[in-house]
A and B are shown apart, each in its own frame.
Chain A
Amino acid sequence: MTTAALQVTDLACRRGGRRVFDGLSFSVKGGELLALTGANGSGKTTLLRALASLGRADAGTIVWQGADIAWLGHLDGLKGDLTVRENIDVAERLRGVTPDRQRIEAALASFDLAALASRPVRTLSAGQRRRTALARVAASQANAWLLDEPFNALDMASQKSLRAVLAQHLAAGGLAIAATHVSLDMPGARSLELGA
């Protein structure tokens, strides 16, 4: 995996005439995890969407180098009428990548989804869906993960799985940025508090 790097300089976002944040500068490189923390409405999602180029920044620059982005929004982005495996499969194809069977099975296993893989997503619980969406990110060969509240709806066991998967991603030289309320005390993790 080629490593990605992100350099953000003097970033400002405004919504409906209101300043969400401004003058934000930071950098993240391969092997690092940046946790975006802050109160509700402090702009974590706005920043994450701007970093993914889904949202618009009003000033400043976002420079990615060698990044292939995998996205987990606060919505799971799953189609209810497709099975768990089909959802992951089609997401890879939409990224223009031929799905890697082994990676997908490994990702399903690491989130304990192997038994659910052939079930339509609409029959799953909220936590199971979140795990499916996370497995989609883990199965992708992307080197930059942008995660909006990845721990949402996860039980203790799944939170542990997520930490393990994140650690593995970082160890392989991957980069991750996560908006989260849960503290991420793991090696390579830093945090950036918004609205402070």
Chain B
Amino acid sequence: MTAFAALFRRDLRLVLRRPGDVVVVLAFFVVATTLFPLGIGPESNLLARIAGGVLWAAALFAALLSLERLFASDYEDGALDLLLLAPGALELAVLAKCASHWIVTGLPLALLAPLLGVAFGLDGQSLAAVALTLLVGTPTLSLIGGLAAALTLGARKSGALLALLALPLCVPTVIFGTGAIEAIATGEGFGVHLAILAALALMALATLPWGIAAALRLAGE
């Protein structure tokens, strides 16, 4: 457990030493979202209808963009070998890295999204839904993206490949995330959606660390 905490803190400290990397991801999120009103037009009914999908898709791309470096920096400077040789379970180290990644991307994305939602004319309940679904759904994205990042370590054209591998697997999360916001528009609550998103996150938590650890061991061979 101490090794878990050490890695978690190391990764957070590394991000804090270079806050620019996180800022760029958040800026991408804002810019990508802003493009939609510019492309579609300022009609507020339409914008409110597509807001959920736009925010979720932009959050997904932003998360994937930042995930490319999740294991790549450790792979390139040789620190991955030290993680592989650490006596504890590699799955725990994977969780520590994904958790610290989520703290610095998923969490700020979820907090930032309602602010952008205001610009799309979403009402209070929908704003809450955007923030809550992203809060519950982004850990799944971090884990799926983490698997794709681990599988593509050292591969040619790893960035585009990462997206190709991760996006189809992220579809259920995106469907239920955006579905929640639509459900509010039709007058239903979004409790069911949140529950399913939580279930997806738990499933990812229970299965993906093993896949990621196996992929990292392969990268070390």
Contact = CB atoms under 8 A, between A and B. Distances in A.
Q: Chain B's interface: helix, strand, loop or mixed, by majority? A: helix
Interface in A66-91: 69, 71, 73-82, 86, 90-91
Contacts of B78: 73-78
Interface residues of B, number: 25
Contacts of B77: 75-80
Interface string B67-79: 0000001001111
A75 B93 CA distance: 20
Interface residues of A, number: 27
A55 B221 CA distance: 4
Interface of A, helix, strand, loop or mixed by DSSP = loop
A87 to B, nearest CB: 9
A18 interface: no
B221 A56 contact: yes
B85 A82 contact: no
A66 B78 CA distance: 25
Residue among B73, B78, B93 with the highest chain A CB neighbour number at 10 A: B78
Given A94-B7, A95-B3, A78 B79 contact: yes
Given A54-B220, A82-B13, A93 B3 contact: yes
Interface string A88-110: 00110111101000000000000
A96 B17 contact: no
Contacts of A73: 78, 81
Interface of B: 2-3, 6-7, 10, 13-14, 17-18, 73, 76-79, 81-88, 93, 220-221
